[in-house]
Structure 1
Amino acid sequence: MAVFVLDRGGQPVMPCSEKRARLLLQSKRARVHRVMPFTIRLIDRSQTDCLLQPLRLKLDPGSRVTGLAVVREKPNTPGAKNAPAFEIAVINLFELVHRGRQISEALTARRQMRRRRRGNLRYRAPRGLNRGNKQKGWLAPSLQHRVDTTLAWVARLRRLAPITALSSELVRFDMQQLANPQIEGAEYQQGTLAGYEVREYLLEKWSRTCAYCDAQNTPLQIEHIEPRARGGSHRISNLCLACGPCNQKKAARTLQDFLKKDPARLARILAQAKKPLRDAAAVNATRWALAEALKATSLPLELASGGQTKFNRCTLGMPKTHALDAACVGRVDAIAGWQNHASATLTIKAMGRGSYQRTRLDGFGFPRGYLMREKSVHGFQTGDLVKAVVPKGKKAGTHVGRVAIRKTGSFNITTARGVVQGIGHKNCRVVQRNDGYGYFFNRAQHTGCEQAGPGATDALHPALYLPGLNPGVSRAS
């Protein structure tokens, strides 16, 4: 992956390659500013001495994972033949894993424990002072977390790279065009995107399943509920998905005639077909909230649909990942350099910054034991990225990973190979302070981080192992 570069004043300049960063560090022209994502700070240059090129940050918002891609827009050579009209070069790829499910489960557990305590002790009616005061545009905490976390990383990447524009996938399909296909006339009906928005919407609406036999993992065809031969239209409410055999078997028969022996399925299909498009808008509530927040950044914002993203990815022959989907958002004619960066995608997992609870709870919601009141022991906090050098003993060697502190000063370090217990604090050195995220390289292809547990780092940056390099704690920590 590319290395982010800051000038001597902390302002972002153009990212460089890993080889260039290593040479700058070895020649002492730069220092390590941050380990994850890896960033160096120049000593002898300012932003005015560097040539900046336009960088664009692209986002593919998702319910569990949001794809992020930093790309460089390559200008076309005047007069060049067969040159793509709009080509980009991939700089960095990220996948941001949200913790919305954990937040929802934690709130549910807290609510149940409070209700249990009220029932076992003296009765106290719920006060409800915090109810009914929701402002317009309010989102549940598990949904608001996705918006806030994505915006936080947009702001962080803007501090690390000279980003001049944003692109985001607004919705998975353009519902306005689905409701009114004539909105752009023949350009929509006959253009390169013709049918892509419709197919994406139907796949989502019918759960990628045949409406007549519930077949999955098979090629599906667009089926007219009311046949065209009997006056049926192309409206989205008259379309469903069917496998090849069911489509041929139904032919030009009416739905009532075809399913006269299965009235339950007939009623279900008719109810599913009449679901309004606003149901899909409710599912995409966080995308609209994120789009409004991105507009407030004062950067030029390009909004696109999921149908266009899939069209770009399939046309360019790229595999399906969240990060590469982000690179395909918006107008794209050609993408360069994605093959090298796809294998070095940095996965960023939201871990939280700890808990406010001072006790553990039993199955009935009552306190069980007490936790330390101090969050720091000998200058270390749980979640810090540390490097421990043990000179002798059974645990001799170098261990790099996330630390879990104890009051005794004997810590546990979660590495890619597992948990190393009983490491003395005198042998540990902070590499990067806990920022609430865990970082992984190629998490889907390696199982080391899964065995190591939450917060592990399965592949740290090679600069950590440079001879004589002492990253320390930088200003960014």
Structure 2
Amino acid sequence: MAAFVLDKRGSPLMPCSEKRARLLLKRGRARVHRVLPFVIRLTDRLAEESAFQSLRVKVDPGSKVTGVALVREFNSGIAVLNLFSLMHRGRQISEALVTRRNFRHRRRSANLRYRAPRFLNRARRDAWLAPSLQHRVDTTMSWVRRIKRWTPISATSVEFERYDLQAMRSAEVAGYEHRKYERVDYEIREYLLKKWWHRCAYCDKEGVPLHVGHIISRARGGSDHLTNLTICCGPCHFRKGERDIKEFVVDGIRCNRILGRAKVPLKESASVSSTRAALVTELRSARLVVETSTGGRTKWNRARFGIPKTYALDAVCVGDVSVVMDWQRPTVEVKCSGRGSYQRTRLTAEGFPRSYLIRKKRIYGFQTGDRVRADVSKGKMIGIYVGRVAVRASGNFNIKTQNGVVQGINHRYCKVVQRADGYGYSPLLRLAQRVTRSKSVGPAL
């Protein structure tokens, strides 16, 4: 993967390869600025003395995981530099809010001092989002700003709508089988697959090749409008042919359900998601050129280039893409872990306290989530351990390494490599792992 590079004043430069970053560190021309993601700072160069190329950040928003890709643009296409999968914790936030609400209701209903409800004096802005949804926008924007701080990007591409409804409407004029653009087929097919739950509308078969068919055949005056199209398996498509649906589907309940479902629009594709709209607004406020695209076009690009489906590679295929190079790169999984909890007790399933947490977040200068290196020189735990630390009031910490959790490491053997930033990283970057385990290079600045 590419290593991020800063000049001696902290301004972003063009990323470099792992080999070049290792040589710069070995020759003393650079210092380690950050371990994960790996960022170096040059000691002998300014941004004014460097040449820049066109860089773009591509984002594929998701409900649980958002794909982020940093690419370099050239005349005939793009070259992939870095891939990230940002795993959100919206579900945890939602469950925590429900728990807090239950505690609040209990305090009001119990024989305690009366507390007036605070929601009566709270005002919400017009573009308000639920905390679990706002978290998705905030974390995605946080990583876009981080990449902007480490690289000279000037543009972004984001999947704004799931389907291009305008393209589907314009395509029906020329007829379903006489379209000029292959991408429109993907828009319509993805729309119908989502609408009919990826199964045959007539026999409910799943996991078989599905075809796009007409509910009212063209021979009987049916149109190519989306309300007249459905998804069906090959045998059902062949048996139906030009027959009327009421003749083919004998069961009246199923027939009415198919006709009713055909007229119901898919809400997710008919309107723009509030989360994606908020994300695009935030990107534009960051003074970046924003290119919006659709999910159907993303799949069309992925199928053209033979790229497997992952969250990060979906981000690579967002927008107008002609050629994709160097996409066979490892993906850094970034998990939102939060910055701790205000709750001072752990509860049982019945709501009773079972343990109490320490009041201070830092113990002997360490905090849960810090990345540390422990050089244990004596005792049963002799060795070198690098990973995420969980602090204890006793001073004996737990370190989560690649091979598992190591318990009972005294704080005297630990040294901070990188402070906790609210995220967990996996897998480790190869160069960052070498630098962390090497004694010749000091800790991050």
Q: Which TM-score applies when normalising by structure 2?
A: 0.93
Letter in 2 for 1:178: M
Partner residue of 2:147 out of 157, 170, 173 = 157
Paired letter, 2:217 = P
Paired letter, 2:224: H
Residue 327 of structure 2 is aligned to residue 329 of structure 1:
no
Partner of 1:111: 101
Whether the 8 Å contact between 1:193 and 1:311 is mirrored in structure 2 is yes
Paired position in structure 2 for 1:200: 190
Aligned residue in 2 for 1:304: 293
Residue 70 of structure 1: how far off its partner (Å)? 0.7
Please state how far the C-alpha of 1:185 moved relative to its aligned partner: 11
* CA displacement at 1:69 relative to structure 2: 0.9
Decide whether the 8 Å contact of 2:65 with 2:86 is kept in 1. Answer: yes
Q: Which residue of 2 aligns with 1:80?
A: none
Cross-structure match for 1:320 = 309
CA distance in 1 between partners of 2:168 and 2:182 (Å): 16
Alignment partner, residue 440 of structure 2: 468
In the alignment, structure 1 residue 401 sits paired with structure 2 residue 387: yes
Match of 2:32 in 1: 32
SS in 2 for 1:190: coil
Do structure 1's residue 144 and structure 2's residue 134 form an aligned pair?
yes
Taking structure 1 as reference, are residues 336 and 130 closer, same or farther at Cα in structure 2, changes over 3 Å only? Answer: farther
> Unpaired runs of 5+ in structure 1?
76-85, 443-456
Are 1:416 and 2:402 counterparts? yes
Partner of 1:68: 68
Distance in 2 of aligned mates of 1:121 and 1:268? 52
Work out whether residues 12 and 160 of structure 1, in 8 Å CA contact, stay in contact via their aligned partners in 2. Answer: yes
Return closer, same or farther for 1:320/1:381 CA change in 2, 3 Å cut-off. same
Q: Answer yes or no: is the 8 Å Cα contact 1:416–1:458 preserved in 2.
A: no
Long gaps (5+) in structure 2: none
Aligned runs of 1:158-307 on 2, under 5 Å? 158-181=148-171, 189-261=179-251, 263-281=252-270, 284-307=273-296
1:418-458 CA distance string (max 9 Å, x none): 1111101010011111100000128xxxxxxxxxxxxxx99
For residue 376 of structure 1, what is the aligned residue in structure 2? 362
Q: Is the 8 A contact 2:333 2:426 kept in 1?
A: yes
Instruction: Indicate the larger mover: 155-164 or 202-211.
Output: 202-211
1:389-436 Cα deviation digits (max 9, x unpaired)? 101222110111111111111111111111111101010011111100
Which structure ranks higher in relative contact order (CA pairs < 8 Å, sequence separation ≥ 6)?
2
Distance in 2 (CA, whole Å) between partners of 1:458 and 1:48 is: 30
Match of 1:97 in 2: 87
- Aligned residue in 2 for 1:452: none
CA distance in 1, matches of 2:413, 2:253: 68
Distance 1:421 1:283 in 2: 48
The alpha-carbon distance between structure 1 residues 408 and 65, as it changes in their structure 2 partners (threshold 3 A), is same
- What is the CA distance between 1:97 and its match in structure 2? 0.8
Please give the alpha-carbon distance, in whole angstroms, between the structure 1 residues aligned to 2:254 and 2:244: 14
Task: Tell me the distance in 1 between the aligned counterparts of 2:175 and 2:120.
Answer: 50
Alignment of 1:385 onto 2:371: yes
The answer on whether the counterparts of 1:211 and 1:240 sit within 8 Å (CA) in structure 2 is yes
| 1:445 aligned residue | none
Which moves more between the two structures, 208-217 or 30-39?
208-217
Deviation at 1:173, TM superposition (A): 0.9
Q: CA deviation at 1:253?
A: 2.1
Q: What CA distance in whole angstroms lies between the structure 2 residues aligned with 1:207 and 1:109?
A: 33
Cα distance between partner residues in 2 of 1:402 and 1:183: 59
Cα root mean square deviation, aligned: 2.5
Q: How far, CA to CA, are the matches of 1:182 and 1:239 in structure 2?
A: 11
Q: Deviation of residue 368 (structure 1)?
A: 4.3
Letter in 2 for 1:303: T
